[in-house]
Chain A
Amino acid sequence: MLNRIISLIIKELLSVWRDKKSRMILIVPPILQLLVFSFAATLEVSNVSIGIINEDNGIISKRIEDRLIGTNIFSKIYHLQNKDAESFIDTEKGLVIIHFNQDFSRKVLNKETGNIQVIIDGRRSNSAQIVMGYISQIINQYNLDYMVQNNIQKSNSIVITRHWFNHNLEFRWFMVPALMAIISLMMGIVVTGLSIARERELGTFDQLMVSPIQPFEILIGKTVPGLIIGLAEATFLFLIIIFILQIPFRGSLLLLYISLFIFICSVLGFGLFISSISKTQQQAILGAFLFMPPAILLSGFATPIENMPSWLQPITLINPLRYFMAILRGLFFKDIPVEVVMTNLWPLIIISIITLTGASWFFKRRLE
């Protein structure tokens, strides 16, 4: 029996490796995605175009302008007339306009409050808010410096912010480990999903069915290769992330691999299910693609689960990616201890058991 299973596993691995198409699918998309996502996918804001309407041209406004230029956020600064404001934002020439009134510097020098208006483009509200945050920091800093300089006995309190785990709020550190999870998910599903469908299409499935091999042996023989490939792929990505992209990993390697293993098991069940119901490889791929975007989206990958409406959040409870994402980010950033890993691990274990047994049962029924 073991002999049969091992033969099947070897055959599966060889099939995937020797088929140029699958080899491509295993190597190219992960690398592409890793590159694209680490560099393109960012919610950070930089290289922004800003418009300044300076009706004042006084010394204080100039100082503020200098400070704005001094940051690295604004790459292009346009000096505009009032009448140009609308079209500047409308035609998306810039994200933000800062407006200094005529009497701005005068007021400030007169020890009155100077008002700055900041206009942001609500069509790109997230980025605009982040830019607003940067500008307000600059203004606050100016205010603080002013008070210190002029010895103002003005009690002011400030908020000192420290970002734990990621001082510079590097978005890449957030995105990239997530990719390890996503790509392992994809590979696991694609490899297992295609395997049975491919045999049916080639006609070799009958040849298998006619041999003494038992249904459960076929299942093991089909899922183990997916596991091996998923683990290998994840390790490959992990090495790239650590050594080439130089993203720090602070947690326990052992916990990482245990969680990875269980995660892939949970994913394989889905892949197997898709494969059992598909008659052709093409159907299997469509099935996989129908499953993946929702799974990825509803996992906290780009936007936190907490932001989702309350009726949608419970659905994420059956999404294995959600749990693994939390474990992965926790291990990378926070070196989370075993207890914390476990809170996310036991749902994964349950999901694995359910999907694997469910898929096996379905597969057996399909054989009849």
Chain B
Amino acid sequence: MNLFVILRRLRGLIYKETLQIFRDPSSLLIAFILPAIFLVLYGYGLSLDVKDIKLGIVMEDTAPTAQSLIRSFINSKYYDIHVDRSKKAFENQLISGKIKGILIIPQDFSKKLRNRGNIAPLQLITDGSDPNTAHLIQNYTQGVWQNWLVQESYIQSKNSAAGLINMESRVWFNSELKSSNTLIPGIIAIVMALVGTLLTALVIAREWERGTMESLMATPVSIVEIILGKIIPYFILGMTSMLITVLASILMFKIPFRGSIIWFLVLSSLFMFISLFLGLLISTVTKNQFVASMVSMVSAFLPTMILSGFLFEISSMPPVIRLISSIIPARYFISGIRTLFLAGDVPELFIFNSFIMFLLGLILFLITAKKTVKRLD
């Protein structure tokens, strides 16, 4: 079989696919508009950084010491403070969700504090119905209070602490602790998974439904050419979509990009191919746009959202689910690009991630190749 003949057929198929992409509004919608919407929504909508937490302070003790403590809280960037004398009003607000926590400065607080024999307790009540925020309130309160103690010389940080332990923390790679820095790379992965899998699955399923796949198969074109003729244009489309998304995220969310372009291209190409093969497999097996879209959502979108470490920490999941997570390609991709963005190049990590993705891609490709035959049954 002449190579030129094959290339000509391939070129014809790629050209046809490209024309269809531009003329079909739904393709452009999924490839460009949908990612933009997702980026804005998830980028701004998802945030684990609490700010302006509504905290109610019950000032049972009105002494200047207490007031100074309260001022510390008011000045803290974490809180939006309301002060009251009675607990009752705040309790109702906690129940109705208007405030997230109550700090009670008991009557004898200043007295006990001065009197070095006692321990002067503060009471913090959090709204446990939002556990993540509750954790953070606990942490931040600890921080503000401790700083106040140092400031008021109740504790000297360097001496007279007499055998106590002080904890210093350093944050690598994301010193401002912006949650968007950690989430945005994950959003990019979700977008790619969506475009790569959903789009491909829909488009090919549509060809089956319209009968054009059938007439293609009756020509001398081989199944490999048909697959390549689809994968190549959609790979280019997907990568373009992704590059735009990445640029947008850097511009909009001011995420740093500290790694090298080459590694970026390697990792993202691998992930893109995997997504495309998955889409191809789904459309070949389902041959129906409706079912294809549902299966894509379940097999590409959801695992990328939930099981990839994007939002939820993998180590905290039960063992069975951790096992499932280990075959989700998005997990390795997200780990890779998060590092690329925030830390820079870590070749050891990248090689590992690329290798696993390559293996997963290969397995997927083999399954797809087996399933995609030039037959209608």
Q: Does B316 reach chain A (CB closer than 8 Å)?
A: yes
Q: Does A121 reach chain B (CB closer than 8 Å)?
A: yes
Interface-lining segment among A88-96, A214-222, A228-236, A269-277:
A88-96
Q: Does A238 reach chain B (CB closer than 8 Å)?
A: no
Task: List A residues 103-135 near B (Cβ within 8 Å).
Answer: 108-130, 132-133, 135
Residues from chain A with a CB closer than 8 A to the CB of B119 are 155-158
The one of A60, A92, A157 in contact with B121, judged by C-beta atoms closer than 8 angstroms, is: A157
Query: Are A125 and B131 in touch, CB under 8 angstroms?
Result: no
Query: Are A37 and B164 in touch, CB under 8 angstroms?
Result: no
Query: Are A307 and B48 in touch, CB under 8 angstroms?
Result: yes
A210 CB to closest chain B CB (Å) equals 26
* Size class of the A contact interface (CB-based, 8 Å): 35 or more
Residues from chain B with a CB closer than 8 A to the CB of A171 are 131-132
Q: Which residue of B lies closest to A39 (CB)?
A: B318
Query: Are B155 and A160 in touch, CB under 8 angstroms?
Result: no
B24 CB to closest chain A CB (Å) equals 13
Contact (A161, B113) CB under 8 Å given A112-B159, A125-B179 = no
Query: Are B315 and A298 in touch, CB under 8 angstroms?
Result: no
- 20 CB contacts below 8 A, A to B, read A46-B316, A48-B315, A75-B315, A90-B343, A90-B349, A113-B161, A120-B171, A120-B172, A123-B342, A125-B177, A126-B132, A129-B139, A133-B138, A143-B165, A154-B116, A161-B138, A163-B134, A164-B126, A302-B46, A306-B54
Q: Which residue of B lies closest to A110 (CB)?
A: B163
Interface-lining segment among A10-18, A255-263, A284-292:
A284-292
Query: Are A123 and B339 in touch, CB under 8 angstroms?
Result: yes
Give bound CA distance, A120 to B306, whole Å.
23
Which of A122, A142, A146 has most B Cβ within 10 Å?
A122
Q: Which residue of B lies closest to A104 (CB)?
A: B165
The one of A37, A123, A293 in contact with B338, judged by C-beta atoms closer than 8 angstroms, is: A123
Query: Are B159 and A113 in touch, CB under 8 angstroms?
Result: yes
Q: Which 7 A-B pairs have the closest CB atoms?
A: A122-B174, A166-B128, A163-B128, A157-B120, A333-B129, A169-B131, A122-B173
Residues from chain A with a CB closer than 8 A to the CB of B136 are 129-130, 133
Query: Are B37 and A156 in touch, CB under 8 angstroms?
Result: no
Task: List B residues 143-189 near A (Cβ within 8 Å).
Answer: 145, 149, 154-155, 157-159, 161-175, 177-179, 181-182
B294 CB to closest chain A CB (Å) equals 7
B195 CB to closest chain A CB (Å) equals 14
Q: Does B377 reach chain A (CB closer than 8 Å)?
A: no
Q: Does A303 reach chain B (CB closer than 8 Å)?
A: yes
Query: Are A159 and B122 in touch, CB under 8 angstroms?
Result: yes
Interface string of B30-50 (1 = CB under 8 A from A): 000010011001101111111
The one of A21, A41, A60, A340 in contact with B95, judged by C-beta atoms closer than 8 angstroms, is: A340
Contact (A29, B165) CB under 8 Å given A91-B346, A174-B131, A307-B50 = no
Query: Are A152 and B96 in touch, CB under 8 angstroms?
Result: no
Q: Does B20 reach chain A (CB closer than 8 Å)?
A: no
Q: Does A42 reach chain B (CB closer than 8 Å)?
A: yes
B96 CB to closest chain A CB (Å) equals 4
Give bound CA distance, A166 to B172, whole Å.
32
Which positions in B face A, CB cutoff 8 Å?
Answer: 26, 34, 37-38, 41-42, 44-54, 94-97, 100, 109, 112-136, 138-139, 141-142, 145, 149, 154-155, 157-159, 161-175, 177-179, 181-182, 202, 289-291, 293-294, 297-298, 302, 306-307, 309, 311-313, 315-318, 321, 325, 335, 338-339, 342-343, 346, 348-349, 352
Contact (A309, B44) CB under 8 Å given A282-B290, A304-B133 = yes
The one of A91, A129, A297, A334 in contact with B177, judged by C-beta atoms closer than 8 angstroms, is: A129
Contact (A297, B45) CB under 8 Å given A160-B123, A166-B129 = yes
Contact (A117, B170) CB under 8 Å given A42-B312, A111-B163, A127-B313 = yes
Q: Which residue of B lies closest to A131 (CB)?
A: B313
Query: Are B169 and A118 in touch, CB under 8 angstroms?
Result: yes
The one of A109, A158, A165 in contact with B127, judged by C-beta atoms closer than 8 angstroms, is: A165
Query: Are B168 and A116 in touch, CB under 8 angstroms?
Result: yes
Give bound CA distance, A133 to B174, whole Å.
17
Query: Are B139 and A166 in touch, CB under 8 angstroms?
Result: no
Query: Are B166 and A120 in touch, CB under 8 angstroms?
Result: no
The one of A95, A112, A118 in contact with B167, judged by C-beta atoms closer than 8 angstroms, is: A118
A66 CB to closest chain B CB (Å) equals 14
Query: Are B168 and A115 in touch, CB under 8 angstroms?
Result: yes
Given A115-B165, A146-B163, A156-B119, 17 new contacts (CB under 8 A): A44-B131, A114-B164, A123-B173, A129-B139, A130-B135, A147-B164, A155-B118, A157-B145, A164-B125, A165-B129, A169-B128, A170-B131, A174-B130, A174-B132, A294-B41, A304-B50, A306-B100
Query: Are B339 and A155 in touch, CB under 8 angstroms?
Result: no
Give bound CA distance, A194 to B30, whole Å.
21
Which of A46, A92, A152 has most B Cβ within 10 Å?
A92
Give bound CA distance, A308 to B331, whole Å.
26
The one of A39, A161, A303, A307 in contact with B51, judged by C-beta atoms closer than 8 angstroms, is: A307
Residues from chain A with a CB closer than 8 A to the CB of B126 are 161-164
Which of B122, B132, B159, B307 has most A Cβ within 10 Å?
B132
Query: Are A40 and B128 in touch, CB under 8 angstroms?
Result: no
Query: Are A113 and B170 in touch, CB under 8 angstroms?
Result: no
B185 CB to closest chain A CB (Å) equals 9
A75 CB to closest chain B CB (Å) equals 8
Query: Are A136 and B339 in touch, CB under 8 angstroms?
Result: no
Q: Which residue of A lies closest to B51 (CB)?
A: A307
Give bound CA distance, A160 to B130, whole Å.
19
The one of B47, B117, B181, B312 in contact with A308, judged by C-beta atoms closer than 8 angstroms, is: B47
Residues from chain B with a CB closer than 8 A to the CB of A40 are 306-307, 312, 317-318, 321, 325
Query: Are A116 and B130 in touch, CB under 8 angstroms?
Result: no
Residues from chain A with a CB closer than 8 A to the CB of B52 are 306
Give bound CA distance, A53 to B162, whole Å.
24
Q: Does A330 reach chain B (CB closer than 8 Å)?
A: yes
Give bound CA distance, A306 to B133, whole Å.
11
Query: Are B96 and A37 in touch, CB under 8 angstroms?
Result: no
Contact (A132, B349) CB under 8 Å given A40-B317, A113-B164, A298-B45 = no
A34 CB to closest chain B CB (Å) equals 13
Give bound CA distance, A64 to B163, whole Å.
13
Query: Are A126 and B321 in touch, CB under 8 angstroms?
Result: no
Give bound CA distance, A293 to B130, whole Å.
21
Which of A116, A139, A158, A165 has most B Cβ within 10 Å?
A165
Query: Are A293 and B41 in touch, CB under 8 angstroms?
Result: yes
Residues from chain B with a CB closer than 8 A to the CB of A330 are 95-97, 129
B187 CB to closest chain A CB (Å) equals 11
